[in-house]
Amino acid sequence: MDRAFAQDLSDLVELQRRARLDYYWDGLLRWQDLFRPLVDANPSLQAGGLARWFDNNAFYRTPQLVGRLEPSDGLPLPGQELPRPWVATLPSPYLFSRAIETDGDPNQLMEEVTELLLAPAARSAAAAGAAVVHLQEPWIGFHGIEPEDWPSFEAALRTLANGLEARLVLHVAYGDAAPYLDRLRRLPVDAIGVDLVETDYRSLGGEWTLGLVAGCVDARRSLVESVDETAELLRQVAEVARPPALFAVPNSELAFLPAPIAARKVTVVAEAAGRLREEVA
């Protein structure tokens, strides 16, 4: 099994190297789901029953809080075996707090989870060489967020960003980000990711002060986009939003696609971004 994992990681790194991506990612190959290694590292959490991962035909073990949340021990460091620069992926504070089964206040839990679990994991990853900490946030895209939840969410992100020697990215996926863009663009992060399959690029607005992570190919269907159309979408995004930094990525994780299809989509993203880079150089 270890040899199989090592070979898969080697193949993934080689794919990213050939595509000339700016950052390497390990695909979370050894993670059973987005929460499990973090849950296993914390004595106050345990993996519960299966829950569906939004509307995908995939499942995760629901994190369950047992007693009072305690600090974690031996936090995982996703990506540390990669060439540099590499990206560490973690669940966003809002997503994690909504996935946990608890009878308590989810917003208070969000701040505790961030302080005791997510922030130490992010800082450990940065200390190990991660250049970017990528927070996956499909909950807001799929279920939305209530106005009263924003202050706690902002406080949690501020805790994450404090002293973090890596770029902090919040990536909203699985839905239209347009209703929340005004608040998203004011969050204490370095860049905001937007699912451009679900979000009309014309709703992005102009003069972004944060970086924009453009989810420009659909990771949830097997039809492979053309390089021409993807490059044109990135060009339109750049013209409308005018962000200080623009990053091209899939709109969400590629784990639910067959490996050959996922590899082709990685190549499409890389070639489209390369074309735009040449135009503005």
Quick: pLDDT tens for 128-163: 889 999 999 999 999 999 999 999 999 999 999 999
pLDDT of residue 206: 93
- Determine the average pLDDT of the residues in 188-205: 97
pLDDT of residue 259: 92
How far apart CA 214 and CA 250 sit, in angstroms, is 8
Residue with tokens 């967020």: 145
Ranges of H-type helices in the chain: 2-19, 36-40, 93-99, 106-113, 119-127, 138-143, 150-161, 181-184, 227-241, 259-280
Cis ω on the peptide bond leading into residue 151 (within 30° of 0)?
Answer: no
The answer to whether 128 touches 165, Cβ cutoff 8 Å, is: no
Check pLDDT > 70 for residue 216. Answer: yes
Check pLDDT > 70 for residue 281. Answer: no
Q: Report the range of poorest mean pLDDT among 12-21, 68-77, 186-195, 204-213.
A: 68-77
pLDDT of residue 271: 97
pLDDT of residue 177: 97
Neighbour count for residue 265 (Cβ, 10 Å): 23
Quick: pLDDT tens for 247-278: 999 999 999 899 999 999 999 999 999 999 99
How far apart CA 238 and CA 243 sit, in angstroms, is 7
3-class SS of residue 24: strand
pLDDT of residue 79: 60
Question: Vertex 77, ends 140 and 268: CA angle to 5°?
Answer: 60
Q: Which CATH number among 1.20.144.10, 3.40.50.1000, 3.40.605.10, 3.20.20.210 corresponds to the domain 2-29+72-280?
A: 3.20.20.210
Whether this model's pTM surpasses 0.75: yes
Q: Where in the chain are the domains?
A: 2-29+72-280
